[in-house]
Structure 1
Amino acid sequence: MPDFPFISVKQKDHTFFLTAIPAGLLTNISYAAVRRKDEEEGAVQRILNSSRIAGIKDFAVQMGDFPASIVLNWVKEKLKPKAGKISIPDSPKSAQIIDGQHRIAGLREAIAENPNIAQIEIPVAIYVGLDTPQSARIFISINTEQRPAPKSLVFDLYGIAASDLMDPSAVRAGDIISYLSSEGQPYFGWVKLPNQGYQRGGIALSTAISSIRPLIEPKGLLEQIGATELEVQKAIFRNFFGALKSRYGKHWDDRSNAFIYASGFIGAIEFMRSHLIDYCKIKKSFEEKTIVEVIALDSTSRILQEEVKGLGGSDAANKVRDRLIAAFKPAEAADTFRV
């Protein structure tokens, strides 16, 4: 029975053991007791999300770090710490998972692919003998008060993370958004960065990146038309939003402009995906002039924020997309490809 150094931590009514154990041992002894499915005490977990597990497995295979503690509720024979160490028997279903079930499932799959991962030490906090209400309070505290980092901050940090942990599509999307929000470009001052103070209007960095990412990821629409280079992709997005900006003229930066809000940006990208890219491919031109000519918006038909105010996120974006489709007036195909 392996022994591990530990720290005893007391917080209000409960004490837990803080230690680190090999991933192989952790995945062997722990299990998820699912709320409304398992009848046992301490059952607070949700149904697993397979896509999250796959992502964590890939992260672990790349030898990513797992610094945050897995939280367990020990339900077998009582643990007996001695002389600064605690013995943890390698016995299945010894500990319910309070927090970290997706990490454990991902680690389990990673170990199946690369057995060496079983030796990685994972920090764990081990409670002993919690009942369901006690487990639920800890679970709620972790998943409501101790929230994960905002997506904008995660995307922002991709630029300084180790290259082997980067998501290439997110990095590329971040580069494009950085360009679109630079001085002189359509979204200068309208992309909200992590920890930025409140402003009315603007698009969160995470929203902007998530919106354009499907277009630029492998096998996305831009790759399908051969537009794979960063500079070409930057020009395509810049020309599209530049065309919209030219239709608004001096009113582009007015807070009445729907396109400086998240729903307008998302709706514009959806229109780009569903109609504009195919049109420009046929025309063999992604020039701003080509795009301006087929978007019939003027001072009487501009898309305003008041049109989507009060609608839900997807409904608001769909409204903007549909308005752009209605304003879309295709012309005859040209002969040359220009960006």
Structure 2
Amino acid sequence: MAELERPAARIRQGNLVLYATSLKVRDLRQPNFYKIDTLDSDEGTGYQRILNEARAKRLADYLLDGHKALEAFLPTSIFLATDKLLPFEAESNSVRIDSEKVGPFNVVDGQHRIRGLVLAAEKDPSLDEFEIPVNIAVNLDPISQMAHFLIVNTTQRSVDRAIEQQIVARLTDLIEFQKTPVLPKWIQRQVDKGEDARALQIVQFLNAEKESPWFGKIRMANDDDTAGDATINQKSFVTSLKKYVLTPSNPVSGEQWTADRQKKVLANYWRAISGLLVESDDETSVIFKTNGLHMFHSASPAIFLHLANLKDFKTETVSKLLKQAFENLPVEYIGVSTPAFWKRGSTASGLNQAAIRKYATALSTAMHSQPGSDGFSM
């Protein structure tokens, strides 16, 4: 590709240098001009959401129709980034782009607009001359690009909460080892607290551990779950852990509790619940849906307090304690102790959050401590 020279305005925002310019669709269509670093939650790489082809096609259809009448309108700028510098001529206010040297550019914001433009130009080559406003950030390392994606997509418009959790968790892991950009205070607080990172470690373990009742049941960020095995999404599970388990009121949330210990406790806890309340052939139990998740995470502080006093978190001990609590439930709540209550389409399916809280409170009240032994055996 020949080197491009485009009129541009250099913009400095603290340490960030941007060039506000425009590109033609034919520029974007050049090989290796840009790339989209899609989040892979398993590998811990990337940050972009999965491209929605239907959304891009709708934009392409609009552009094709509007272009015929010279009324195609797409004023919002695309945000590209590179970790290299671009030659800038201050006298002529122009920037030179040699994509073989600085590319491919990472698309921080605007992947659907780019895809829609490319699809449209493939059908009508005259759209190659259509110009799109572009902001290009230079000398921006991949971690900063990821952080800027989060800033743009949470301060201006919403990004999927599961992707936000993944990025915040990765920033938490990196914060002590690599330089990161200044983040909005509310994002910085999430990063510093580390709750997303800790919750994600637990969720990933429960979803990947073959002996876990949650094995393969949690749809992680950017997973399409084509097999339909997932019963709940990462966003809901992480949110539930942060709300009920990783809080000062829960005995397993103190500084002495490592992620590995928390993983084992949660795995044993859910194994006991599953063993008592899920029939072996029931693949759709509400135990593994939002109501079951919130119910037993909400009750977990009382249950874990008794287990902590016993210094015993083994599955059989959890099971024994739960059985005793079930026996002490008031008559109006006794149904929660049976698998039938949790079958799809039965009572648990129709409970709202207020009702779930009442059941969780009743279970917490019914808890009684009992002798046990040390251990975290799986």
TM-score by length of 2: 0.45
Alignment of 1:1-339 (within 5 A): 20-22=11-13, 84=93, 147-158=157-168, 160-161=170-171, 163-164=174-175, 166-167=191-192, 168-182=194-208, 183-197=210-224, 199=228, 202-214=231-243, 217=246, 219=248, 221-222=250-251, 227-251=256-280, 253-255=282-284, 257-273=285-301, 275-295=302-322, 296=326, 299=338, 302-306=341-345, 307-312=347-352, 314-315=353-354, 317-318=356-357, 321-322=360-361, 324-325=363-364, 330-334=367-371, 336-339=373-376
In 2, Cα distance between equivalents of 1:147 and 1:253: 40
Contact 2:166-2:196 within 8 A present in 1 as well: no
Tell me the SS of whatever aligns to 1:181: helix
**Residues 300 and 192 of structure 1: is their aligned pair in 2 closer, same or farther, counting only changes over 3 Å?**
closer
Asked if structure 1 preserves the Cα contact closer than 8 Å seen for 2:277 and 2:339, the reply is no
Q: Equivalent residue for 1:118?
A: none
Runs of 4+ aligned structure 1 residues displaced above 6 Å come to none
Q: Deviations over 1:200-240 (max 9, x none)?
A: 86221121112112566574524566751222111111111
What TM-score, normalized to structure 1?
0.50
Gaps of 5+ in 2: 1-5, 16-76, 80-90, 95-134, 137-151, 181-190, 327-335
- The CA deviation string for residues 111-133 of structure 1, in whole angstroms up to 9 with x for no partner, is xxxxxxxxxxxx79xxxxxxxxx
In the TM superposition, residue 309 of structure 1 has moved relative to its aligned partner by 3.6
Q: Secondary structure at the match of 1:180?
A: helix
Q: What do the CA deviations read for 1:98-151 (whole angstroms, capped 9, x no partner)?
A: xxxxxxxxxxxxxxxxxxxxxxxxx79xxxxxxxxxxxxxxxxx999x843212
Confirm or deny: 8 A CA contact 1:308 1:316 kept in the other structure.
no
Residues of 2 paired with 1:270 and 1:68: CA distance?
A: 43
Counterpart Cα distance in 2 of 1:148 and 1:176? 25
Once the two structures are TM-superposed, the CA of residue 301 in structure 1 deviates from its matched residue by: 5.3
Count residues with an aligned counterpart: 215
Cα contact 2:342–2:348 (8 A) shared by 1 = no
Q: Are residues 205 and 272 of structure 1, via their aligned partners in 2, closer, same or farther at CA, if it must alter by over 3 Å?
A: same
Provide the residue aligned with 2:84 in structure 1.
none
